[in-house]
Amino acid sequence: MDTVALRSSKLVMACNLPGGFGEILISFATTWPNVWHPAGLLLETWRSLSYPFFCLPAWWLVGRGFDGLVRGVRLSGGLALLGLVLCVLFIVLALGLSFGLPTSERRDVGLVVVGFAIWAAAFGVVPIAWLWGRERSVALLRP
């Protein structure tokens, strides 16, 4: 199982990048500055297993944004603000990794930069859905 996890851990992490915040919280409370993981598993194996679970709140938020766009579910302003903040944060992180690192180190973070960019777009759906819903409700009030 470890060899499979080693090959796919970077892809799993890129698809579930917000899960890194969950890992930081657990490590901060237990083994900071080291990353906590079970002793019987390699760090990459642990990340392949845990990042999808740590990322569930982010997937929920993006799903709410798509519900707002597709099904017309009304979103609160707080969710829109959270989505906007996360979108801007992930754009800054993607640009920072793309242009803030020396060229020799950039090739190691290519998949992570793509993950940040994809998640920035995904989080951007939430404020767009909120604006779309506001425009629809204002249009219904017009005579």
Torsion of CA 21, 27, 33, 36, to 10 degrees: -120
Mind listing the pLDDT tens digit for each residue in 69-112? 888 888 888 999 999 999 999 999 998 888 877 776 666 677 78
Instruction: Indicate the residue type of 87.
Output: C
pLDDT at residue 21, as a whole number: 79
Instruction: Indicate the residue type of 5.
Output: A
Same domain (yes/no): 66, 129: yes
- For residue 5, pLDDT over 80 is answered with no
- Whether a cis peptide bond, with omega within 30° of 0, leads into 33 is yes
Give the lowest-confidence range in 42-46, 51-55, 96-100: 42-46
Same domain (yes/no): 107, 63: yes
Same domain (yes/no): 61, 50: no
Same domain (yes/no): 94, 72: yes
Q: Are 48 and 8 in contact (CB under 8 A)?
A: yes
Same domain (yes/no): 50, 61: no
pLDDT at residue 7, as a whole number: 67
Same domain (yes/no): 47, 8: yes
Nearest to 127 by CA among 89, 77, 91: 77
User: What is d(CA 38, CA 83) in angstroms, rounded to the nearest whole number?
Assistant: 32
Residue of higher predicted confidence among 24 and 67: 67
Could you tell me the residue range of the domain that residue 122 belongs to? 57-143
pLDDT at residue 113, as a whole number: 84
Same domain (yes/no): 126, 77: yes
pLDDT at residue 4, as a whole number: 63
- Total domains present in the chain: 2
Instruction: Indicate the residue type of 61.
Output: L
Final residue before a domain boundary, out of 34, 54, 74:
54
- For residue 57, pLDDT over 60 is answered with yes
Same domain (yes/no): 71, 111: yes
